[in-house]
Amino acid sequence: MDHGPTGGAPSRRSAARRRTTAGVAVAGLLPLLAACGGSDPADTDATGGTDGVVTLVTHDSFAVSEDVLADFEERSGLTVEQVAPGDAGTLVNQLVLTKDAPLGDAVFGVDNTYATRAVDAGVFEPYQPADLAPRVAELAPEGLDGTLTPVDRGDVCMNLDDTWFADHDVAPPATLEDLTKPRYADLTVVTNPATSSPGLAFLLATIGAFGTDGFQDYWADLRDNGLKVAESWEDAYYVDFSGAGEGGQRPVALSYATSPAFTVTEDGGSSTTSAMLGTCFRQVEYAGVLAGAENPEGAKELVDFLTSEAFQADVPGQMYMYPADPDVELPADWQEFAPLADEPFAVAPSEVAEHRDEWIEQWTATVIG
């Protein structure tokens, strides 16, 4: 997920972007990243902090308005520094590989498709804000209460170029099964679950829909119906999707339920795209305190900040996700153009943890060969 300038209005293109996930860590980065996790003992004060600095490790799509962050720094007396080793998957890989010399104090951006991997590796020190609202706390991964704090959420769904379907006088697909029908041959593009966070989320949606015994048959039907697989969300959306307005040829693309809010017409009366809300998997992103943090108290304050009303209200405009707090006011056009799915598909985190790699291998054998 990429963004417009922090604190400024994002462009339509940057507003719609989402993160991609690397399947493996880049080995050449490891020595440098591990070195970043160390510190000179002389820099550390008596309380374990480091000159009032707290380091947030995050994916490279984290964004917050300058005034919101400045207000937190002024009130807390902390200076927030950011370390972004890469996209969401790289983030988790690096957290695991550097757990004995952590890259910072707190982390944001581990989502529910990878959370159990990081927790099982001992990356986090258990912590949740004491005043966390129950409706937010219930978004924490199953069995991991008290370890991770939900910060935002969003639905990964197939998106439609409504203008294309109207111009071609074709009724748009409405279900996962529809995408396998001959009338929609060669129209769909998704992203590779081995290299893309949305791709993995959509793979899990199909497992939730068809079960572990049926999802491979479904993907075989998609493949035979002319499915295209892109390596990244940006490639799928901006290169292949006709609804992005940049020359793409496929009117069905994997994206987010919020994406249609950024293809609204000039008069604001409609959107040229829509999300297939019957195809969604809900992502939740978490924050946590890193085990072995040099400034654990600062890390806890930072996690508290990420759940504060000010930060939560900033999430939609900066990261184009729903805040974890359902009581936060949303942009005016989101209710009409960016609703969440009523019943997204789900897979238990324990199942994801046990079978993630196996499912990706099965998908690869079926779709890529």
Encode pLDDT of 301-352 as tens digits: 999 999 999 999 999 989 889 999 999 999 888 989 999 999 999 998 889 9
In the block, tokens 């654990």 appear at: 296
pLDDT below 50 — which residues of the chain?
Answer: 1-50
CB 355 within 8 A of CB 212: yes
Tell me the backbone φ, ψ of residue 363, rounded to 5 degrees: -60, -45
Report field, pTM of the whole predicted structure over 0.85: no
Predicted local distance difference test score (pLDDT) of residue 19: 41
Q: Tell me, what's the pLDDT at 75?
A: 96
Whether the CB-CB separation of 340 and 326 falls below 8 Å is answered with: no
Q: How far apart are CA 107 and CA 355, in angstroms?
A: 25
CB 191 within 8 A of CB 198: yes
Residue with tokens 């947030």: 56
DSSP strands (E only) in 217-260: 228-230, 252-256
Domains and CATH numbers, the chain: 12-154+283-337 (3.40.190.10), 155-281+340-368 (3.40.190.10)
Residue at token pair 């994801």: 352
Question: What is the separation of C-alpha 222 from the centre of its chain, rounded to a whole number of angstroms?
Answer: 24
Look at residue 366 in the predicted model and tell me its pLDDT: 98
Helix residue ranges per DSSP H, 130-240: 134-137, 162-167, 197-210, 215-224, 233-234
